Amino acid sequence: MVYKLCYVDPDEPKAYFTSNWEHQWGDDWNDRPYEHNAGIPYHSYQDSDGVEQDIPMKMVYFDLPWGWEMPCSNVDNSRYSVEDINNHRVPWITKDGNYIFAGVSYTNFVKQIEEWGGTIYTPKKKGAR
């Protein structure tokens, strides 16, 4: 199963990946500015028969050395919605002229963050010690 980047939290370095790119949505994903309106990705959707379907997701925390930016960096209100970003109007993350766009695979996201000198942190599974 391929997981694709669909959301990067504007308040902390946390990225969400969906297994169902075509149906992925979240609260207020079409509102601007995304950093003051959008919620995290929904974990389900209604199919054409009105049946609720789960969406397998991944979430990771990441840490990058100084110098990376998001569409909301250095502005009070960005001009973008999550929908805009996921439609590739701008990348989710920019560093030193390199970009991470929506839809990048989980594997390639991890590779890019590590190439930039960053670290990926995966959350513990429930019940793990």
- When divided into structural domains, the chain yields a total of 1
- Give CA–CA dist 63/77, Å, rounded: 24
**Domain ranges, residue 26:** 4-121
pLDDT band at 129 (very low <50, low <70, confident <90, very high): low
Q: Which residues of 114-125 are buried (b: 16+ CB within 10 A; e: fewer)?
A: eebebebeeeee
The pLDDT score that the predictor gives to residue 127 is: 56
> Is position 129 within any domain?
no
Grouping H, G, I as helix, E, B as strand and the rest as coil, residue 41 is: strand
Contact 111, 128 (CB under 8 A): no
* Whole-number CA gyration radius for the chain: 15
Q: pLDDT for 9-44, tens place per residue?
A: 999 999 999 999 988 999 999 999 999 999 999 999
Q: pLDDT for 50-66, tens place per residue?
A: 999 999 999 999 999 88
- Give CA–CA dist 114/76, Å, rounded: 29
Contact 57, 19 (CB under 8 A): yes
pLDDT band at 126 (very low <50, low <70, confident <90, very high): low
> Is position 128 within any domain?
no
The pLDDT score that the predictor gives to residue 72 is: 97
Residue 46 main-chain phi, psi, to 5 deg = -95, 125
> Is position 108 within any domain?
yes
